[in-house]
Structure formats: C-alpha cells, structure tokens
Amino acid sequence: MKRVVVTGLGLVTPLAGSVNKSWDKLINAESGIGKIEGFNVEDLPAKIAGHVPNSEQEDGFDPNRCLELKEQRKVDRFILFAIDAAYQAIKDSKWEAKSEEDSYRSGVLIGSGIGGLSTIEQATLVLKEKGPRRLSPFFIPSCLINLASGQVSIKNNFKGPNLSVVSACSTGAHAIGDAARLIRANEADVMVAGGSEAAITRLGIGGFSAARALSTSYNDNPTTASRPWDEGRDGFVMGEGAGCVVLEDYEHAKSRGAKIYAEILGYGLSADAYHITAPSEDGDGGYRAMQAAIINGGVDISEINYINAHGTSTPLGDEIELGAVKKLFQDNISNLSISSTKSSVGHMLGAAGAVEAIFSILAVGNDIIPPTLNLENPCDSAEGIDLVPLNAKEKKVNIALSNSFGFGGTNASLILGKVK
C-alpha cells in the first residue's frame, strides 16, 4: 500500500495569517479570541469570537497576497481563507504541475462546515430590500462550498480529483483522511487537502447562540472563555480561518527531494447515530473512530504520545471525549499528553480538523505539545491525566492522534507520525 506524507503546510488562524507565526503564538500560550467588532452584538448573548487578524494588525492575513481586490469581491471570505492557506501549503511543498501528467495526478479536497454564510446573509437582505435584479451574478459560485477546491484547482492547474467534504466540525479531518485514501488508491500523487470557515456573522453567532452552544459568561474577558475540561467552561467560542496541507505519495515526494513533515499513518471515521447536536453519552462514536484509526494505521496504542483533542469547552462534550480516551487507552493513558488548541483559537468549525492536524504535525516535528489555556480548575474526570495546562510542554512526540467530532454525530480521527 502507498505511504502518504505531508510536504506542505498552510494556516490562516485567529492567531496569525501564517504557519510559523500561528505556531509560535500557540506554544507561547497566546489567545486569538477577542470581542466581536464587525457587527452589532448588543442583543446577542455571545459577544466574543476568534477573528482572523487583518493585514493592518501584527502578523495578520493579507488577502491581496493571492487575489486582486476585484477578484476578492467575487468570493466569500471562507474561499479567501482557503485560497491563501492552499497557496502557503503549495509554496511550502515546492510542488508545481509542470506537465500534463503532473496536472492529472494533482487534486484538491477542501471542505467547509457551513460555507458562504456571510454572502448568503448579505444576499438575502439585497433580495428583500432591492429585489432579485440587484443580486450579483457571482452570488452562487461565491458561496458554494466546493468552490474553495475549485478555485485552488483553477489557480494551480490541478486536474486530478476535485471535490469537497461537508461534515460539520469533522470536515477538515475528513478532508485530509479522504485525500490520503485517494493517494493510496492511486487516484492521485499529490492532493491539497483541508478545511475553511468564516461563519462569524450576526446570523452565525445568533444561530449557535439559539442552540445554546456558545460561551456567554466571559464576554468581558474573552481570552479566558475557551477553557476545555475546566470546571468554569460554559460553551465553545467560534473561530474562523483555514488549514491546508499538501499530501503526497511517499515515493513521489522522495524522488523530487521534497521536505517531509510527517506521515499520515491512520484514519478512522464513525457515526454516533444518536442526536443531531449532542454526542452519545457513552462516547462510543469517538471511541470507535480512534480505534479504527489505530487499526488502519497498524499502530500500537502504546506508541501514541499526544492527542490533540476535539475539546470544545462544552460542559457535556469534553468529559465524554475524555471518557472515550480512557476506555480506549486504559493503562497506556499514563504515557499520553492531551491538549485542546481550541483554547487558543476557538472552534473553527469546518476548518478545525485541518488546523488541529497541522498543529499535531508541528508537535510531531518539533517535539513540543501545545497547551490547554485557562485550565485552572480541572473537572473531576481529568484527575491523573496530563492535559498540558496553561503552558506548552517539551516531550518526544513520535505519533499523534487528532480528534474531530461534529454535529450529526460524525466523527473522524487522524494518526500522524514521524517518517521512519
């Protein structure tokens, strides 16, 4: 079976508009969460989020790097993030489709949980207030989820598999896992894979608030709001951004002398078949996704050093996931370090799985485990478990597991490791 490796990384996060700056701030225990300023939140119970910093801010995201202003107006913000993260990853990988065969063997699989929510929200107001003749001819292609993959494909002349995944908060992880499968099945040699999201809008915050999913107790102190496994947690904080990787057949990467960050060792997926928004109380879905990834990767459970948890900072979900980890790892849990990087960047929804996979890859590459911020009073079920509270930790990380669980009971686990 073909081996699949990671040869390029790209990030746009609430911490910064690049991989290196996002990672540096993450391991320095910085938070990208602040007060919402882009729209009126006076009547909304949640008034905070993890916004991507703009180009005028330090280490911010510059949309002009990849698209002219005229072209930016034709796409939703989530597509802008995806194009930029993919650009970073492709540039980092030094891969270019120079021949027709290269084009045919290079593909794109970038997903989103919600897609062009801002564009839909704005177009709805135009339709209501000004009528259908005032709608932009770019409205539909600007907000379709698969246009993230489509735009990246067009810009890079990648003519291989071109598709998207939509699985709520598991999207980014599913995209990477599915793209790796395409390479293993010899459908492609190179795949750009990941997730993107830009749902911090009045409608997005209002909708998740109505579902009582968001943190509302820390509006006056935003950086303390995302606190996985802490007794004071009261819901997740929405984030935005994108994460993309370049995946490559190992022999293909080796033959061209590519830098290899890590290997995609295993991929597992499952369904809770329980509830539209809540995880099953016994954590069975997450347990089976992790178990499937371990079996798929042929990895001994004792070899896993780090878990980047789904860890959203919700009263219910955090402890259910921890229970599933305990059940699966049993005595081996003493070898594990577990952290949630959502404590720093918030919950990036469809982008989360890809961003967290990249953080896991960097943990493997640097032997540093990112911290769980704001974990000052751990819940009782966390006793005896290393949740890397408050500060990053140096530790040998040969193999990492990254979990992503989503609305609808959809679960994905990725296993990433050093290349041997």
Q: Which residues carry out catalysis?
A: 169, 310, 347
Length of the chain: 420
CB 50 within 8 A of CB 238: yes
Q: How far separated are the first and last CA of the chain, in Å rounded?
A: 16
CB 113 within 8 A of CB 171: yes
Q: Is the dihedral of CA 244, 249, 251, 255 positive or negative?
A: negative
> d(Cα 170, Cα 156) in Å, to the nearest integer?
26
In the block, tokens 């980890």 appear at 325
> d(Cα 315, Cα 312) in Å, to the nearest integer?
9
- In Å, how far are 105, 158, 178 from 191, measured between CA atoms? 8, 9, 10
